[in-house]
Amino acid sequence: MFKIFRKNHTTASIELKDNNQLSALKLAAQKTAEEFNVDEQAIQSSIFASAAQGNTILENRAVFMYATSDKKHSIHTMTLTFKTPVAWGNDKTPIDYLIVGLLPDTADQNDLDALTEKVTNELSDKADDLDDIRFNDSDLNKLNQSFTN
C-alpha cells in the first residue's frame, strides 16, 4: 500500500556537458549520493571500483554498476538516461541507460548476482520499449522500481 509514496530514483534525458564515460560516472555518483543521502566521495569511489572490475553492458545500450554503503540496509537502484548516448568502454558501446545498484556494505556476492540478474531480465523483457521508456519519466520510474520489487 505504501509503495505509492516510494521515491522513484530516476533522472531521464540527461545532457552531459562533457559527453564521456568519466562525466557519466561522476554524475551517477553525485545523483546516487543525493537521492539516497549518502557520502558522495564514498559512492564515487565504490562506483569507480565497480567500473574498474569491468562493465556489465546490457541490451547493447545499458551499463549496470554498483556501490555499497554502510548507511543502507536494503538494496536500491538509481537509473539515469542520457539524451545523447555515451561512448562506453574500449569498444565505445553507445550507452543511453546507466543503472546503479546501491547495496548495504553487508551484502555479499549472491546479493549482487541476484540484483544483476533482476536488472538484466527486466531490461531484456522491456528491450523493445527502451527507446520510448528512456524519455518518459513515469515509465522510467516503473522500470527502475521493477529492479527491486
Q: Is the model's pLDDT at 3 over the cut of 50? A: no
Contact status, residue 69 vs residue 35, Cβ threshold 8 Å: no
Distance CA 74, CA 23 (A): 27
Biggest distance spanned by C-alpha atoms of the chain: 45
- Higher-pLDDT residue of 46 and 2 is 46
Confidence class of residue 55 from pLDDT cuts 50, 70 and 90?
confident
Instruction: Provide the pLDDT confidence category of residue 54 given band limits of 50, 70 and 90.
Output: confident
For the record, the C-alpha cell of 60 comes out as: 547493447
* pTM of the complete model: 0.92
Dihedral angle sign, alpha carbons of residues 72, 75, 76, 79: positive
What ranges do the domains of the chain cover? Answer: 2-146
Would you say residue 2 has pLDDT above 80?
Answer: no
110-123 pLDDT per residue, tens: 999 999 999 999 99
The number of residues in the chain equals: 149
Measured CA to CA, the distance from residue 78 to residue 18 in angstroms comes to 21
Task: Convert the pLDDT of each residue in 83-133 to its tens digit.
Answer: 999 999 999 999 999 999 999 999 999 999 999 999 999 999 999 999 999
* Contact in structure between 33 and 67 (CB atoms under 8 Å): no
CB neighbours (10 Å) of residue 92?
A: 11
In this predicted structure, the answer to whether residue 7 has a pLDDT above a threshold of 80 is: no
Mean pLDDT computed over 7-31: 91
Domain 2-146's class?
A: alpha beta
**CA distances, 128 to each of 13, 68, 132, 134 (Å):** 18, 31, 9, 12
